[in-house]
Amino acid sequence: MKQRLLFLGPPGAGKGTQAERLAASQGLLHLSTGDLLRGEVAAATELGCEAEAVMARGELVSDGLVLAIVRSRLEGHSGGWLLDGFPRNLAQAEALNSLLEDLAQQIELVVLMELDDDRLIQRLLGRGRADDNEAVIRHRLEVYREQTEPLISYYRQRQLLEPVEASGSVEAIAARILELTS
């Protein structure tokens, strides 16, 4: 079983749902930068206040801020992990590489969840999160295309990437992912 995983894919592809499920069943640390940032916003911490407006616009929070969150949670954690929603751009991917070098760890698999735009938008509109209105959703998809999609070829070149068709039932998608991780 692979122990160090990244979940990559557009907003609405179901990364959070699948990541949570897989992490629970395999005993991995689930690190969702989106969830952690929302927690900071809800607790009105300094970090949360800094991130709130950026998140509401559907843009990316600064690399330094997100990296500090990830670093603090991976340092001192000896077991497996699943990163969900991080990295989101090439600078974060490079920063993750050097963090993992420091920790003498390596990414074992990058799961790319794929779904067409119409279904992504439908799912996001049904979710009702603060940043899920149509204009912000479209912007988040643009940000994904521009900043996050380059990570697909980045990890493909490193022979870590495995695409998964993210349509069908939660169970069917989970089964596809589980097959890749074993």
Choice from 74, 85, 141, 160 touching ligand AMP (CB under 6 A): 85
User: In one letter, which amino acid is 50?
Assistant: E
Cα–Cα distance for residue pair 182/179, rounded to 1 Å = 6
The structure tokens listed for 144 are 């994904």
- Does 13 engage in binding with ligand AMP (CB under 6 A)? no
What does the alpha-carbon distance between residue 20 and residue 108 come to, in Å, rounded to a whole number? Answer: 18
Taking the least distance from each CB to ligand AMP, the nearer of 85 and 109 is 85
Q: What is the CA radius of gyration of the chain?
A: 16
**Minimum separation from the CB atom of position 70 to ligand AMP (A):** 8
Is 148 among the residues that bind ligand AMP (CB under 6 A)?
A: no
Nearer to ligand AMP, 109 or 140 (CB): 140
- Look up residue 72 and give its two tokens: 């603090």
Q: Give residues in contact with ligand AMP (CB under 6 A).
A: 11, 33-34, 37, 54-55, 58-61, 66, 85-86, 88, 92, 140
